[in-house]
Structures are given as structure tokens and as C-alpha cells.
């Protein structure tokens, strides 16, 4: 009956979602390897109450139709995989991916998850794990009595043991890439899962076949652009206010009818 109320409500919903996305981006402005999201809006279906170009007589056509829009919706949130700034940490087990690609980790249920968070650590058995304890795939185990660890730009991990001067290669970190990284499912903990829309993971050595390179002793910061998010936040807030104004205008119209008839 009163479509305006519902149309304005879709506007409020969409701006609320936009605020949720912005808040999440800002909340993760200092999360290592975090990729910011963007909400994509789309106008909803139009109610066709008169086809444009319909024949009014055999010779004449209506110049325009009667199409009533029914509001707006958030059609999706899209991760923006632009490079975050690389910050030096000096920790030899921190790696940042420069360019395309994700580090692979094995989840407890055996599935592979993907991450850009390269703050790696050593667990009790010497295996390289993420800060949540998920082992890096392919598995790399550091021997005991390690003096220093070197991770090359191509992913080669070599160690020198105490009492030895000759480094030994113990494994290679591989990266995975996707046709459509925006289609990955974010599962939190800085991890992503492969989906139908991301395509299957293509693995390879860093620096080869378009994969990014690794940079030891540094981490990739969040790619949240704080200033941009602030501007988006102001815009979302104002659009929200305008839509709530629509609701109150229609409400006033209705209350006027009730009071004056």
C-alpha cells in the first residue's frame, strides 16, 4: 500500500550494512594481512506499470513508461585485494607476500585455508605455524639447535645449525593464487577458503608464474584506507538520515489523512 515506507526502509538497511562493512574495515585497520571490503549496492526490481514504447494507437507510442523503483539492496561485499604496506619487524619468521598469492595452511579438519598474514611461529615440534597454530603447507619443520633461519624471496627456507657454518635447505614455502580472489570466502582469523566463484587454487613457487615474492623479516599491514573509510562513513550516515527523513515525511502524510478526514 504505502511503498514509500518500504522503499525508504531498504535504504536504511543498505546504509546500515554499509556502516557494518566500514566498521569492520576500521576495526581491522591494524590487523596484519587484512584486506578491506566494499559493499556493492544495486537498485531493486522495477514495478512495471506501463511499458515504455507501448502503442497508444496504431501510429503513436507512449514516450515513457511507468516504472516504479522499489528501493536498494546490498548485492555483495567484495574484498579488495590491493597490496598493504610492508612493515619491517626484524623477526626472521615473519614473511610478507609482495604481489599476488596467499600462504597455505592446513586446518584441523584437513582442508586448506589461505592467508596473507605471514606472522609465522615455531610450534613445540619445530613446525612452522601461523599465530593461531595452523601448520603452513607444505609442512616445514625446523631442526633443533637452529642458529638462524633464512627465507628467500622464492620461498626457500634454509637454516644454519649451531656449530655449523653451512646452511641447509629444509623446504620451500609455496603460494596459491586464484582467478578471482574477490570470490574467496573470508572465514575470520585472517583466513580465506576457496569457493566456486574464486576458482581452484593454483599453487607455485614465489616469484615464478606471476606469484608474488616473499620478504623475510617484514609483515603486510592492513590495506584499510582510514581516510577513505571516514569519508564513506559520513556519506553512509547522511544517506541514512535522508532515508529516515523519507519515512517521517510519508508518516506525516498518513497522519494528516487520519487526522483530517
Partner 1 sequence: MDRSVYIAMTGATQTMRAQDAVSHNLANASTVGFKAELSAFQSVPVLGPGANTRINAVAQGVGADETQGSIQHTGRSLDVAVNGPGWVAVQAADGTEAYTRAGNLQLDADGNLTDSRGNPVMGTSGPIDIPQSSKISVGTDGTISSVPMGQGPDTIAAVGQIKLVNPDPTQMSEGSDGLMHMNDGSTADTDSTVTITSGALEASNVNPSSELVKMISLSRQYEMQVRSIKTSEDDADDSSKLLQAS
* Contact positions with partner 1 (CB under 8 A) in 119-158: none
Residue in 68, 85, 139, 230 binding partner 1, rule: CB under 8 A: 68
Question: Binding segment for partner 1 among 28-36, 66-74, 87-95, 214-222 (CB under 8 A)?
Answer: 66-74
Contacts of 157 (CB under 8 A, 6+ apart): 128, 140, 149, 150, 151, 169, 170, 171, 172, 173
Q: How far is the CB of 139 from partner 1 (least distance, A)?
A: 26
Residue in 19, 26, 29, 80 binding partner 1, rule: CB under 8 A: 80
Contacts of 258 (CB under 8 A, 6+ apart): none
Residue 239 in contact with partner 1, rule: CB under 8 A:
yes
- Residue closer to partner 1, measured from CB, 132 or 238: 238
User: The C-alpha cell of 36 is what?
Assistant: 578491506
Q: How far is the CB of 143 from partner 1 (least distance, A)?
A: 34
Query: What distances in angstroms separate CA 147 from CA 83, 93, 195, 214, one per listed residue?
Result: 32, 13, 41, 21
| Count of CB atoms situated within 10 Å of the CB of 96 | 27
Residues in 195-214 at the binding interface with partner 1, rule: CB under 8 A? 195-199, 202, 208-210
- Residue closer to partner 1, measured from CB, 31 or 77: 77
- Residue closer to partner 1, measured from CB, 4 or 141: 4
CA distance 49 to 65: 7
Residue 23 in contact with partner 1, rule: CB under 8 A:
no
Question: Binding segment for partner 1 among 9-17, 105-113, 120-128, 135-143 (CB under 8 A)?
Answer: 9-17
Q: How far is the CB of 48 from partner 1 (least distance, A)?
A: 5
Residue in 16, 76, 85, 132 binding partner 1, rule: CB under 8 A: 76
Size of the site for partner 1 (CB under 8 A): 71
Residue in 16, 23, 55, 75 binding partner 1, rule: CB under 8 A: 75
Residue 86 in contact with partner 1, rule: CB under 8 A:
no
Query: What distances in angstroms separate CA 236 from CA 22, 27, 47, 239, one per listed residue?
Result: 9, 17, 26, 5
Residue 229 in contact with partner 1, rule: CB under 8 A:
no
Q: Would you say 14 and 73 are in contact if contact means Cβ atoms under 8 Å apart?
A: yes
**Virtual torsion, Cα 26, 27, 29, 34, nearest 10 deg:** -110
Residues in 90-109 at the binding interface with partner 1, rule: CB under 8 A? 99-100
The full DSSP string for 156-184 is EEEEEETT--S-EEEEE--EEE-S-GGGP
User: The C-alpha cell of 34 is what?
Assistant: 587484512
Residue 230 in contact with partner 1, rule: CB under 8 A:
no
Q: Would you say 175 and 207 are in contact if contact means Cβ atoms under 8 Å apart?
A: no
Residues in 38-57 at the binding interface with partner 1, rule: CB under 8 A? 40-48, 50, 52-53
Phi, psi dihedral angles at 92 (to 5 degrees): -70, -15
Residues in 168-197 at the binding interface with partner 1, rule: CB under 8 A? 177, 179-180, 182-183, 195-197
Amino acid at each position: 500500500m504505502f511503498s514509500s515506507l518500504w522503499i525508504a526502509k531498504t535504504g536504511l538497511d543498505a546504509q546500515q550494512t554499509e556502516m557494518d562493512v566500514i566498521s569492520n574495515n576500521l576495526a581491522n585497520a591494524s590487523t596484519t594481512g587484512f584486506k578491506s571490503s566494499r559493499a556493492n549496492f544495486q537498485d531493486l526490481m522495477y514495478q512495471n506499470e506501463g511499458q515504455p514504447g507501448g502503442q497508444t494507437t496504431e501510429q503513436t507510442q507512449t514516450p515513457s513508461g511507468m516504472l516504479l523503483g522499489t528501493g536498494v539492496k546490498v548485492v555483495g561485499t567484495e574484498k579488495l585485494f590491493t597490496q598493504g604496506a610492508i612493515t619491517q619487524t626484524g623477526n626472521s619468521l615473519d614473511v610478507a607476500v609482495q604481489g599476488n598469492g596467499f600462504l597455505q595452511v592446513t586446518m584441523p579438519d584437513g582442508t586448506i585455508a589461505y592467508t596473507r598474514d605471514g606472522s609465522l611461529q615455531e610450534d613445540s615440534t619445530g613446525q612452522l605455524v601461523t599465530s593461531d597454530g595452523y601448520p603452513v603447507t607444505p609442512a616445514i619443520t625446523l631442526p633443533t639447535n637452529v642458529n638462524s633461519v633464512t627465507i628467500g624471496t622464492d620461498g626457500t627456507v634454509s637454516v644454519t645449525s649451531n656449530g655449523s657454518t653451512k646452511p641447509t635447505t629444509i623446504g620451500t614455502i609455496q603460494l596459491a593464487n586464484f582467478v578471482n580472489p574477490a570470490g574467496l570466502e573470508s572465514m575470520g582469523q585472517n583466513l580465506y577458503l576457496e569457493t566456486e566463484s574464486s576458482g581452484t587454487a593454483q599453487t607455485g613457487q614465489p616469484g615464478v608464474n606471476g606469484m608474488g615474492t616473499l620478504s623475510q623479516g617484514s609483515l603486510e599491514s592492513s590495506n584499510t584506507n582510514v581516510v577513505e573509510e571516514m569519508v564513506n562513513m559520513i556519506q553512509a550516515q547522511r544517506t541514512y538520515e535522508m532515508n529516515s527523513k523519507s519515512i517521517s515525511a510519508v508518516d506525516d502524510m498518513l497522519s494528516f489523512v487520519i487526522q483530517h478526514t
